[in-house]
Structure 1
Amino acid sequence: MRFSLLFWAGFWAFLLDQASKYLVVHWMGLARLRSIDVLPPLLNFRYGENRGINFGLLDNGADLSRWLLIGFSVLVCLIVLTWVMRAQPARWMQLSAGLLVGGALGNVIDRLLYGYVLDFLNMSCCGFNNPFVFNVGDIFIFVGAAGLILFEGRSGARRKKAP
C-alpha cells in the first residue's frame, strides 16, 4: 500500500489519455475531419500523427526510430519508478511519478498500436498561432516531470538535522 498513490495516479493518467484519444480521434471523427474548432483560438482539435518526439524531432518515419522511442520511453519509466521506490517519497512526488509514467505509457501504447502517437490538442492565444499539437498524456508527462523536480528531496520521512 506504500505506493498506491503512484499506481493510481499512473492508472488514471493512462486511462484518461487513452480515453481522450479514442473519444476525440475516433468517436468524434477527428481522424476523418482533421479539424474541430472547440473554443477558437484557445482550444482546437487538430489531428496529428507524431512519429518522432516533441515538435516532430526524430520524425523520419523509420520503424527503427519507432522501436527506439518505445524502448527509451519504457526505460525512462523504469528509471523513474526505481528512483521513486528507493526513496521515501512524499505524496506529491508519488503523484508526480505516477502522472509521468501513466502519460508516457499512454504514448507507448499509441506507438505499439498505430506506429505513431495520436495528438489532437492545439491551443493558441493573443495573436500567436500555435502550429503544434499534443495530447493529454503529454500534459501528464510535463506536469509529472515538473512535480518530480519541485518535490524531489522532500521525503515522507523527516530528515534529521546535523548538530
Structure 2
Amino acid sequence: MADKHTLSFRTSTSIAPWLGISAIVILFDQITKIAIARMFQFGESLTVTSFFNLVLAHNKGAAFSFLASESGWQRYFFTAIGIAAAVFIVHLLRRNAGQRLFCWALALILGGAIGNVIDRTLYGHVIDFLDFHVGAWHWPAFNVADSAICIGAALFIYDELRRVRK
C-alpha cells in the first residue's frame, strides 16, 4: 500500500506546483521591475560590465518593441493575448500535469506572460531593464518575464524534440 501512495505522489496530476513556479516568476519579475523603476529615471542607464547595462525602458509594444509606435490600441491587444495565453496554458497544465518538462516550460511561460500583463494593465507599457550589447549595438532591453518566456519556449522545443526521437 505504501508503494501505491508513493507512486501516486510522484505522478501527481495537481497543477499547484506549476502554478507555484509561475507565481515565483511573477513575484521576482515584479520585484525587479519595481526596484529598477524606483532607482532609475526613464532612459537612465548604469554600466555593469562591458557588455551589460541596467536601464529603465518602457515598451508599449511586444517583443523587440513590435508595434510600440502605434496609437495605444496595442496595449489592449497584447493584454488580451496575454490573458488568453494564460487561460490556455492553465488548461494545458490541467491536462498534462504529470509531464514534468512540458509543465516546467508552460509554468515559466505562464509566469512571464502574467508578469507582462500586470505591467500593461498598471502602467500601459512593460518595464524593461536588462540591456546586453556588443560595442554600440544593443539587443532590445528585456526583463525577468521575457527571460522566463524565452527559457520556457526553449524547454518546450527541447521537450518536443525529445518526444519526436522516442
TM-score range, shorter-chain basis?
Answer: 0.7 to 0.9
- 5 Å-filtered alignment, 1:1-163, equals 2-26=14-38, 29-31=39-41, 34-39=44-49, 41-125=50-134, 127=135, 129-152=137-160
Verify the 8 A CA contact 2:15 2:97 in the aligned structure 1. Answer: no
Structure 1 window deviating more from structure 2 (133-142 vs 73-82): it is 73-82
Distance 2:97 2:123 in 1: 38
- Distance across 2 between alignment mates of 1:128 and 1:55: 17
TM-score (norm 2): 0.81
AA aligned opposite 1:122: D
Whole-Å separation in 1 of the counterparts to 2:106 and 2:77? 22
How many Å separate the matches in 1 of 2:160 and 2:18? 15
> Cα distance 1:131–1:97, how it changes in 2: closer, same or farther (>3 A)?
closer
Change (3 A) 1:153 1:86: farther
Instruction: Please tell me whether the aligned partners of residues 120 and 134 of structure 1 are also in contact (alpha carbons under 8 angstroms).
Output: yes
Q: TM-score scaled by structure 1?
A: 0.82
Q: Taking structure 1 as reference, are residues 90 and 68 closer, same or farther at Cα in structure 2, changes over 3 Å only? A: same
RMSD across aligned C-alpha pairs, in angstroms?
2.3
Q: After TM superposition, give the deviation of residue 33 of structure 1 in Å.
A: 6.7
**In 2 relative to 1, CA 58–89 (structure 1 residues): closer, same or farther, beyond 3 Å?**
farther
**Structure 2 gap ranges (5+):** 1-11
Amino acid at match of 1:135: N
SS in 1 for 2:84: helix
Q: Secondary structure at the match of 2:55?
A: strand
Whole-angstrom distance in 1 between the partners of 2:78 and 2:42: 27
Identity among equivalent positions (%) equals 29
More helix by share: 2
Mapped to 1, the partners of 2:89 and 2:47 lie a distance apart of 37
Q: Compared with structure 1, are the counterparts of its residues 20 and 64 closer, same or farther at alpha carbon in structure 2 (3 Å cutoff)? A: same
**Number of aligned residue pairs:** 152
